[in-house]
Structure 1
Amino acid sequence: MPFSKLRTEVEKIVQEHEAPVDLRLKEICELLKAEIPYYTWVGFYFKNGDKNELKLGPYAGEPTDHTIIPFGKGICGQVAVSNKNFVVPDVSAQDNYIACSIHVKAEIVVPLFKNGENIGQIDIDSNVPDPFTEEDERFLEFVNEKVAEIL
């Protein structure tokens, strides 16, 4: 499914006002994982209260032990500090990488802002080397803008 059609599907999920927010976030994760062949694991991490750490939210993919990630650690932790997208074409080339699976080859993390504050992120792992393009970044920024509307 092309990104343009996925945008429409994401908007539909966000507008399901009767569904709890976590359920809608999980639906988004499942949609992206199912429809984008190189998205192996899709999940949201959110700032954990006043702590300088991220807590795993809804996701689609294999279970992970990384339910809490300190700021600055791994790709997700770095994005929590930098407030910038981080595209990693080859995770084995990253010194500060937290491996979730030996099969993961690439990762993209895009911060999620609400009222100008970085409150979390969407994290995508791929078992395909270097699959992410600028189109993925723009699409995931769109997803996060829509998600911010319901948080």
Structure 2
Amino acid sequence: MNLEKLKPGVVEILQKPDIEINEKLKNLCQYLQDNVSYYNWVGYYFANHDNQTLHLGPYVGAETDHTVIPFGKGICGQVAVSNQNFVVPDVAAQDNYIACSITVKSEIVVPLFVRGENIGQIDIDSHVIDPFTESDERFLEFVNKEVAKLY
């Protein structure tokens, strides 16, 4: 998968005028899921720093009960604290993992920074064990830099 080829589509989606930010993010999630075979659930969580919680934003994929996640809990909650990318090749090997579905085998979470503050993250689940590479990390960092321009 050449993720570089997807960059112009990311920019196009996010720069469309007269579309609300949540719709742009939902369209972006759909674009990523449609174009990367192992991206089976794609969504954004946004931080409430006062309450130390993450709140589910736009996403595509199976419904989830995890609409609010405390900082430190699960992969997303750990990224809210560490401010670092987190790649989980096999969720079954993770102690602090919140199971969304038995079909999820791996996960990648990349923080979203706006003016130096971690305001949220993109979260991607896969039904494949260990599909995420450094290319995915760099690509999702690019995606989030483009998303940050909306804030």
TM-score with structure 1 length normalisation?
Answer: 0.98
* Alpha-carbon displacement from aligned partner over 1:63-93 (angstroms, at most 9, x marks no partner): 1000000000000000000000000000000
Q: CA deviation at 1:44?
A: 0.2
Other-structure match for 2:80 = 80
- Whether 1:4 and 2:8 are equivalent positions in the alignment is no
Paired with 1:18 and 1:121, the residues of 2 have a C-alpha distance of 24
Deviation at 1:2, TM superposition (A): 2.9
Name 1:63's counterpart in structure 2: 63
The 5 Å alignment of 1:98-117 reads: 98-117=98-117
Structure 2: how far apart are the matches of 1:121 and 1:17?
23
Query: What is the DSSP-based 3-state SS (H/G/I as helix, E as strand, rest coil) of the residue aligned with 1:87?
Result: strand
Residue 49 of structure 1: CA displacement?
5.6
CA distance in 2: counterparts of 1:62 and 1:48, whole angstroms: 24
**Post-superposition offset of 1:46:** 0.3
RMSD: 0.9
- Alignment of 1:43 onto 2:38: no
CA distance in 2, matches of 1:11, 1:2: 16
More displaced 10-residue stretch of structure 1: 44-53 or 33-42: 44-53
Distance 1:147 1:45 in 2: 13
What CA distance in whole angstroms lies between the structure 2 residues aligned with 1:32 and 1:15?
16
3-state SS of 1:150 partner: coil
The 2-side partners of 1:105 and 1:53 are apart by: 24
Question: Which one-letter code corresponds to 2:12 in the other structure?
Answer: K
Number of aligned positions between the proteins: 151
2:7 maps to amino acid: R
Any unmatched runs of 5+ in structure 1? none
Deviations 1:24-56 (A, max 9, x none): 000000000111000000000001262100000
Which is further off, 3-12 or 22-31? 3-12
Q: Report runs of 4+ in structure 1 exceeding 6 Å deviation.
A: none
Q: Letter of the aligned partner of 2:134 in structure 1?
A: E
